[in-house]
Amino acid sequence: MRVLVTGGAGYIGSVIVEELIRGGHQPVVYDSFVKGHASALDASVPCVRGDIRETDRLRAALTQHQIEGIIHMAALTEVEESIRQPEQYFENNVAGSVSVFRAMLEAGVKQLVFSSTGSLYADTGRTPFDEDDPTAPTNPYSETKLLVERMMRWLAEIHGLTCTALRYFNAAGASERNGEAHEPESHLIPNVLEAAAAGRTLHLFGTDYPTLDGTTVRDYIHVIDLAQAHLLSLTRTDPGLRVYNLGNGNGYSVRQVIATAREVTGLPLQIAEHPRRPGDATATVASSRRIRAELGWAPRYPELRSILATAWAWRQAHPHGYEAS
């Protein structure tokens, strides 16, 4: 299948491109390169530089490359930034997605896989979350993802599109070629590994949560397993919107991540404990029963140690991220 990947030069997008090639597909990347990295892509992959809000440029790319399906990854993703600049997130993530929908309709593309988020669920205190649980975004970033899902339902119904929304929980790990290198970096695992490698103190926020060790619990999913779910979603042929959670179904606490990082790196890690941060949920764990049952998805890297080991291997090979690649 000929597949356009918006945001295909980013962390998750670049691994999806790798897996598409490995699966016999023909990916084309559409990326603004504001956050993405050209060196994350094989030179053989066609690449169009553009903003998703440039509908004409998008439509031209879809037509020129005879695209059959779209994996829509391009989005702003920093929660704290979305609270400071909500208008920027609504313009890029929501209006940008409308531009993607318009371009695909005009180009006659009928299949879309959308990068959504598990952070849009209401914090009811019950886990694991399943797809029918109530949603209640607590920040503009999550709100933009839910709004796009709601638009997709109507577009799929009215235009006969096959749309899939994948609600990610915590993507982590690395392929041999591509790993996590955000600026700024807000995710726990790369920050833990960076602190270990640099000999810096890691700041831990909240040690009095009602969990086994007092720290928050999260569901980590290997980026390759995440990528495989996108490929499986492309096999859907029935019109309409289908929503799937993507997680391992296992929760790991911050202290467990730190302990595993010490094992994987063999390095000491100094911790400074601080009070809770406002807005941090106690535990977010996904039920992925639906995608397992309907598409046959199963994670190949479910263990926290294997996730951290691949992330550490990539960081050792790329101590400065993509800067020197």
Residue 185's alpha-carbon distances to 124, 190, 194, 321, in angstroms, are: 28, 8, 10, 11
Catalytic residue among 141, 209, 252, 301: 141
- Give the whole-angstrom CA distance, residue 92 versus residue 195: 32
DSSP H stretches of helix in the chain: 11-22, 55-64, 79-84, 86-89, 96-107, 140-159, 188-198, 223-233, 254-265, 289-295, 304-317
Residue 141 among the catalytic residues: yes
- Give the whole-angstrom CA distance, residue 145 versus residue 140: 9
Q: Tokens standing for 171?
A: 């993507």
Contacts of 237 (CB under 8 A, 6+ apart): 162
Cα three-residue angle 36-43-325, rounded to 5 degrees: 55
Contact between residue 155 and residue 110 where contact means Cβ atoms under 8 Å apart: no
Question: So which residues are the catalytic ones?
Answer: 141
